[in-house]
Amino acid sequence: MLDINLFRTNPDLIRENIKKKFQDAKLPLVDQAISLDQQLRETKTEADKLRNQRNVASKQIGALIGKGLKDEADKAKSLVAGIGGELDSLKAREDELSAKLKSTLLVIPNIIADSVPIGRSDEDNVEVQKFGVPFIPPYPVPYHIDIMEKLNGVDLESARKTTGSGFYFLKGEIALLHSAILSYARDFMVEKGFTYCVPPFMIRGSVVTGVMSFEEMEGMMYKVEGEDLYLIGTSEHSMIGKFIDSLTDPSELPQTMTSYSPCFRKEVGAHGIEERGVYRIHQFEKQEMIVVCEPEDSEAWFERLYRYTVEFFRSLDIPVRTLECCSGDLADLKVKSIDVEAWSPRQEKYFEVGSCSNLGDAQARRLGIRIRGTNGNHFAHTLNNTVVAPPRMLIAYLENNLNEDGTVRIPESLRMYMRGHDLIY
């Protein structure tokens, strides 16, 4: 949610930003917000005048009674009562205008960074850097579900019976590998100085609208019937919500956390064959990074966070690349975002395994996350990034560590979490 002062001082910047994101249908909302803000300020000014009149009249009543001027005192009392009725009407008007203004501001996108490439969709995202050499083995690499089934590690059919499509049973060595990767990710981030957290897996509606746009909410979130609770799509939702209505001393920043959670997503829309199996699913587990920091530090933290993910994947012998998301591919609250993609030897291309985002003060402004300042309090900046999200990450792991005989290598960094074994077979 943008600062209302920006609408008063530089509305053209907001309009240009909307155009960069190819959301021209939202352009009229800028004038709507300006009009509502003007009406709200006029209403507040009128209410302030009436309150002043009431205060003056109230003070006169005692003096008039003291002088024995009963009629004049009664007139003053009537005036005070009348002003009270007018103030009640103005308060209702204020509340109505405030609600309309907030609902308008919530759907206007955040101002993107100057460095963000301009483009309509993820097809216009720009490669930043490759890490590791993509390798295509001299033997065929099977589809990831075929690899898992050969290792007796997945059961999709039973999951369809118990729950439906988009779910899975992992078992045996593949289930152990899944847990091992998450444990390794946890320890990897703790070693970087992050505090490990396990958050609530459900959040209130007020937190949902504080951490994401309405478009994201509709396409992702599962609501608990009959309650003001939603299943989280990522632990970022709970972790940022943790700071709602807070005032933090600068000495306590940055707040750096790494959180584990299951994640639940509708995944609305049709997807291709490569996104079946365990690639695009309704339930998965993830290790996340979250940072709450001073505004001037968020750019440096953004660079640091996505490089942690690169380092993590390279420690598992998986080549990756980074892509900067273009303007049209950025969710409305994001200032800047970089995707980390892993190499798929079977497809001979990269695919997304994580995303790092700087949201500026968008979430902080919505949730009231403030930092105490010497010249007044100010809003924090928030960032989030995926460390790892199996089982999608398992696809990259299995393909890049598959031997010709169907066994799977276990890199040195992961062996202590796999009972010391160096192979899955």
User: What pLDDT, in 10s, does the model give residues 16-47?
Assistant: 999 999 999 999 999 999 999 999 999 999 99
DSSP assignment letter at 250: G
Asked whether residue 196 carries a pLDDT value surpassing 90, the answer given is yes
Short-list 347, 328, 348, 350, CA closest to 337: 328
Percentage of residues in the chain with pLDDT exceeding 70?
98
3-state DSSP percent of the chain in helix, strand and coil, to 5? 45, 20, 35
User: Which domain-ending residue is among 78, 105, 132?
Assistant: 105
Q: Is residue 420 part of a domain?
A: yes
- What is the pLDDT, as a whole number, of residue 55? 77
Assess whether 50 and 152 both reside in one domain. no
Residue 377 near residue 371 (C-beta atoms within 8 A): yes
Assess whether 210 and 149 both reside in one domain. yes
The CA distance from 261 to 291, in Å, is 17
Assess whether 127 and 55 both reside in one domain. no
**Can you give the CATH number for the domain in which 78 is found?**
1.10.287.40
User: What pLDDT, in 10s, does the model give residues 347-400?
Assistant: 999 999 999 999 999 999 999 999 999 889 999 999 999 999 988 899 999 999
Assess whether 71 and 150 both reside in one domain. no
The CA distance from 158 to 146, in Å, is 16
User: What pLDDT, in 10s, does the model give residues 204-233?
Assistant: 999 999 999 877 887 789 999 999 999 999
User: Which domain-ending residue is among 73, 105, 137?
Assistant: 105
Give the side-chain half-sphere CA count within 13 A for 422.
Answer: 1
Q: How many domains does the chain have?
A: 2
Assess whether 139 and 101 both reside in one domain. no
Short-list 274, 390, 338, 313, CA closest to 134: 313
Residue 36, SS3 per DSSP: helix
Q: Is residue 115 part of a domain?
A: no
Assess whether 9 and 39 both reside in one domain. yes
The CA distance from 317 to 314, in Å, is 5
Please list the alpha-helical segments (H only) found in 151-198.
156-162, 172-191
CA distance between the termini of the chain? 52
- What is the pLDDT, as a whole number, of residue 79? 82
The CA distance from 210 to 242, in Å, is 11
- What is the pLDDT, as a whole number, of residue 85? 86
Short-list 330, 353, 325, 329, CA closest to 341: 353
**Can you give the CATH number for the domain in which 259 is found?**
3.30.930.10
Assess whether 218 and 253 both reside in one domain. yes
Based on DSSP, count helices (H) and strands (E) in the chain, helices before strands. Answer: 14, 18
- What is the pLDDT, as a whole number, of residue 270? 44
Q: Work out whether strand 246-248 and strand 369-371 pair parallel, antiparallel, or are unpaired.
A: parallel
Assess whether 101 and 127 both reside in one domain. no
Cβ neighbours, 10 Å, residue 146: 14
The CA distance from 290 to 195, in Å, is 10
Q: Is residue 356 part of a domain?
A: yes
- What is the pLDDT, as a whole number, of residue 53? 82
Q: What is the mean pLDDT of residues 268-288?
A: 73
User: What pLDDT, in 10s, does the model give residues 151-190?
Assistant: 999 999 999 999 988 899 999 999 999 999 999 999 999 9
Assess whether 164 and 65 both reside in one domain. no
Assess whether 419 and 389 both reside in one domain. yes
User: What pLDDT, in 10s, does the model give residues 82-119?
Assistant: 888 888 899 999 999 999 999 999 999 999 999 999 99
Assess whether 100 and 128 both reside in one domain. no
Q: Is residue 117 part of a domain?
A: no
Residue 414 near residue 180 (C-beta atoms within 8 A): yes
421 exposed, middle or buried (CB, 10 Å; 0-12, 13-18, 19+)? middle
Q: Which amino acid is at 122?
A: D
Dihedral sign computed on CA atoms, order 116, 119, 122, 124: negative
Assess whether 225 and 317 both reside in one domain. yes
360: left (phi over 0), alpha (psi -120 to 50) or beta: left
Give the side-chain half-sphere CA count within 13 A for 12.
Answer: 0
Q: What is the pTM of this model?
A: 0.90
The residue segments making up the domain with residue 299 are 122-424
Q: Is residue 110 part of a domain?
A: no
The CA distance from 387 to 311, in Å, is 10
Q: Is residue 111 part of a domain?
A: no
Structure tokens that stand for 131 in this block? 């890490």
